[in-house]
Structure 1
Amino acid sequence: MHLVTRVRNRPALDRCGLKEGQDYTAINTEFLFEPIARLVRWISGPNKGWAVVTALTIPSYLLFELIARKRFKKRLREFDLVHRITPVSPAVPSPMATWCRRAGVPFVLGPLNGGLPWPKEFPNLRKQEGEWLSGFRSLFRALPGYRSTRNAAAAIIAGGKSAFREIPGIWKDKVVYIPENAFDPSRFPVPTHRRSAQDYQGRPLRAIYLGRLVPYKGCDMLLEAAADLLRQGRMTMTVVGSGPESKRIRNLIARLDIGHAVECTGELPHRQVAEYLRRADILTFPSVHEFGGAVVLEAMAMGVVPVISDYGGPAELASPHCAFLVPLQERDAYIQAFRDVLHTIASDPARLLPLAENGRQRADKLFTWPQKAEQILAVYRWVLGQETTRPDWGIPFKDD
């Protein structure tokens, strides 16, 4: 395997022991990418306007592939296949797909993600997130290279159900659905102690929120939903994350008079997150517009039961057999529905036990990185003719 990547990834690859020129090639397009990214941050604010970022950085991705072609034109036939993993946006065309087809080298595209509509129940979220351009998202199908990329690809990996659904039917026979998220079992190991009903007695329910503090992830709605339990001493909550909503969240905690039961850690290194998860009973993650949701897998792996919206990526990764899926509704009704679920759990925490075990098994069966590697290898074998049946891991559009 030879990795072709942006030069900004060189330090991380070197730390892993990879050798430039032998294991990977670093291509410098930062002189074009970074000024555009700074412009978008200036227009939309930090961590906002992802659709604008994608649209304006398309030229840098095309430049990346042009440079890659020049460096590998004479060597392209040395490889059995070419896999373009990033960018995950379906709006970015790939000239490499056509170049590979001409050379007789199978081209694999994806995982592609996106296409998740902004929920109609929260009409102001798109504006708050600086995603005005997403209203014109469907126009990406008219971009030069959109059709040729998909026509030339031997396989297209869809990283989410929304991405799967928006791929036109003429290419569906080459699409494989593989959720893009996974977790590292060494960082989020199965707890050595399996809880019993007695473990919940004599203490409050322990909830944890993991994520950026931005409007669509709904930490404010979570606090309102949990406020009664927190004030009554029947629940504690740890908020792990930072973002533009940090000050507003702290003010809300003070206004709701729940500061004695809520710990705000700010942003933590990824390796420390497991320590907080290990002490939690439930992951309370009410995000209403989430493509992925890796925190859901990390929680499931450690026996922490997710309480999540029944929409987008989190609902794909979990299932009613291992999580509480809260129907997406308008704000007040959604908060009340979340509140009802939390009160139901607090009244009988032992109901978490079978869900926790089911979640551990589901995460281990489908969503570890080694499992993800096997899923991708199955796609490779299929496009190379080593397998005649298109891979199907039994994940899409049903609960396992």
Structure 2
Amino acid sequence: MSRQPKVLVIAEAANPEWVSVPLVGWSLATALRHVAEVHVVTHVRNRDAFLRAGEIEGETFTAIDNEALARPLWRLGEMLRMGQGKGWTALQAVQALSYPSFERLVWRRFGAAIRAGKFDVVHRVTPLSPTISSPLAKRCARAGVPFVLGPLNGGVPWPPGFESERRREREWLSYLRGAYKLLPGRRATLRHASAVVVGSRHTQSEVPAHWRDKSVYIPENAVDPARFSTVAAPEGGVLRAGFVGRMVPYKGPDMLIEAALPLLRAGRMRLEMVGDGPMLEGLTGFSAAQGVAEAVTFHGWLAHEEVQAVLGRCHLLSFPSVREFGGGVVLEAMALGVVPLIVDYAGPGELVTEGLGWKVPLGTRDEIVAGFRAALQRAAQDPGALAPMASAARARVAEAFTWARKAEQMRGVYDWVLGWEDKPAPFG
């Protein structure tokens, strides 16, 4: 079809000034305007950021206010987390309680227009969590309007041997996470959705077999070329490796420093550590105690636009996270021409394919440290030899992982559910 479909995009979390899920929501929702006539519905907390970005309320977006319920439940979630940046599963459980009220208000505002056929498709972009049901799916099915869900992602199992990290993250509710599959709201959502976009192979495996033909695999993350537009130019003759992420146990910053110790002591490597978190003070002390403080720079938290300046000085992104859903930082490094060195598990393991980076098998903590140490020593022998892999990584991102390309992939889903085209070919 030559005409663009009219799409109501539900992005409860969407904010150009934040990172993680809100940035994914904003980036995808706005990129979809290149392939469809889009009106975005978001939460009132994002309203001012939308206006600062040049959006026009009532014309390009609508802000929904369910703060009377969401705010106290959010506070409850923060209490249940028992620590800043911890207990993510508890926060998701609370969001699952408050989110349906948001969609009820969306239907109150747009239900008549949906029933009247003023939108060809309704697409819920965020929340990303597959544990959060969508009451709109059933309402749209009754109105005869296709409902697209996703990209859904999350819930990657904690790998064996990392129970202490799981406890330090206060992930008590993660032991019960699987119970969400029994909730009637989930089954109704999947039954009435026209398409379920999954952001990872793990999430696709959790879709019941009799609904799996509705699923389309499109990785969750992408890169904005305007934000990550430079080309890495590593400094000096020694290997430079960067780490970007929260300083928390499952991200593995301690494993990285331990793996790098021989090279750091020998003056053959420098580490650039970007991020803040509860482990930062201990990592700083450990580096000093091991005599490598001069070779490790802790930058703390940096604004998103400043991260590329640090990564751009590196040969490698060294990222030993053992439980990463999407792996956006991996794509950002690849876009700059920084070769990723990651654990072959979940999101990063799906993004880094042959010739684009190095993957260390998932194993015990000691096995991961040994694997990273061997890879770093290999890279340190000739950092310049990484250049062909860096070029291939940049080309792969430009080909398949920009937000504009992601929007084109979603347009394929729209055309499919509208009966305009066949189901999109598998991502690859």
Q: Which range, TM-score by smaller chain?
A: over 0.9
Give the Cα–Cα distance (whole angstroms) in 1 for the partners of residues 77 and 290 of structure 2.
35
Q: Shift of residue 121 of structure 1?
A: 2.6
Match of 1:20 among 41, 57, 61: 57
Q: Shift of residue 80 of structure 1?
A: 0.4
Q: Shift of residue 190 of structure 1?
A: 4.8
1:368 corresponds to: 402
Give the Cα–Cα distance (whole angstroms) in 2 for the partners of residues 239 and 29 of structure 1.
38
Give the Cα–Cα distance (whole angstroms) in 2 for the partners of residues 131 and 141 of structure 1.
19
1:75 corresponds to: 113
2:32 corresponds to: none
Match of 2:252 among 204, 214, 218: 218
User: For 1:204-231, what per-residue CA distance to the aligned partner results, in whole angstroms no more than 9, with x for missing partners?
Assistant: 1111111111110000110000011011
2:350 corresponds to: 316
2:278 corresponds to: 244
Asked if the contact 2:80/2:90 (under 8 Å) is kept, the reply is: no
Q: Which sections of structure 1, spanning at least 5 residues, go unmatched?
A: 396-400
Match of 1:127 among 154, 167, 170: 167
Asked if the contact 1:108/1:153 (under 8 Å) is kept, the reply is: yes
1:315 partner SS: helix
1:398 corresponds to: none
2:425 corresponds to: 392
Match of 2:217 among 163, 171, 177: 177
1:136 aligns with 2:176: yes
1:9 aligns with 2:46: yes
1:41 partner SS: helix
Match of 2:330 among 278, 293, 296: 296
Asked if the contact 1:81/1:106 (under 8 Å) is kept, the reply is: yes
2:91 corresponds to: 53
Give the Cα–Cα distance (whole angstroms) in 1 for the partners of residues 277 and 72 of structure 2.
23
Asked if the contact 1:116/1:312 (under 8 Å) is kept, the reply is: yes
Q: Shift of residue 375 of structure 1?
A: 0.7
1:273 aligns with 2:313: no
Q: Shift of residue 393 of structure 1?
A: 4.6
1:75 partner SS: helix
Give the Cα–Cα distance (whole angstroms) in 2 for the partners of residues 66 and 308 of structure 1.
41
Asked if the contact 1:315/1:325 (under 8 Å) is kept, the reply is: yes
Give the Cα–Cα distance (whole angstroms) in 2 for the partners of residues 129 and 40 of structure 1.
15
Asked if the contact 1:322/1:354 (under 8 Å) is kept, the reply is: no
What TM-score do the two structures reach when normalised by structure 1?
0.94
Matched residue pairs, number?
A: 388
Asked if the contact 1:308/1:315 (under 8 Å) is kept, the reply is: yes
User: For 1:315-358, what per-residue CA distance to the aligned partner results, in whole angstroms no more than 9, with x for missing partners?
Assistant: 11111311110111111121111111111111122331221121
Give the Cα–Cα distance (whole angstroms) in 2 for the partners of residues 27 and 125 of structure 1.
37
**Equivalent residues in 2 for 1:254-265, closer than 5 Å:** 254-265=288-299
1:186 aligns with 2:220: no
Give the Cα–Cα distance (whole angstroms) in 2 for the partners of residues 37 and 214 of structure 1.
22
1:145 partner SS: helix
Q: Which sections of structure 2, spanning at least 5 residues, go unmatched?
A: 1-37
Give the Cα–Cα distance (whole angstroms) in 1 for the partners of residues 145 and 54 of structure 2.
28
Give the Cα–Cα distance (whole angstroms) in 2 for the partners of residues 33 and 48 of structure 1.
20
1:305 corresponds to: 339
1:344 corresponds to: 378
What TM-score do the two structures reach when normalised by structure 2?
0.88
Give the Cα–Cα distance (whole angstroms) in 2 for the partners of residues 357 and 70 of structure 1.
50
2:151 partner SS: strand
Give the Cα–Cα distance (whole angstroms) in 1 for the partners of residues 162 and 295 of structure 2.
28
Give the Cα–Cα distance (whole angstroms) in 1 for the partners of residues 240 and 90 of structure 2.
39
1:273 partner SS: helix
Give the Cα–Cα distance (whole angstroms) in 2 for the partners of residues 243 and 32 of structure 1.
29
Q: 1:320 to 1:255 in 2, by over 3 A?
A: farther
Give the Cα–Cα distance (whole angstroms) in 1 for the partners of residues 197 and 346 of structure 2.
17
Asked if the contact 2:334/2:340 (under 8 Å) is kept, the reply is: yes
Match of 1:29 among 62, 66, 70: 66
Give the Cα–Cα distance (whole angstroms) in 1 for the partners of residues 76 and 166 of structure 2.
19
2:242 corresponds to: 208
2:104 corresponds to: 66
Asked if the contact 1:150/1:171 (under 8 Å) is kept, the reply is: yes
For 1:321, give the aligned amino acid: G
Q: Give RMSD over aligned pairs.
A: 1.5
Give the Cα–Cα distance (whole angstroms) in 2 for the partners of residues 310 and 102 of structure 1.
43
1:157 aligns with 2:178: no
What is the percentage of aligned positions where both structures have the same residue?
48
Asked if the contact 1:82/1:107 (under 8 Å) is kept, the reply is: yes
Asked if the contact 2:148/2:193 (under 8 Å) is kept, the reply is: yes
1:78 partner SS: coil
Give the Cα–Cα distance (whole angstroms) in 1 for the partners of residues 326 and 143 of structure 2.
34
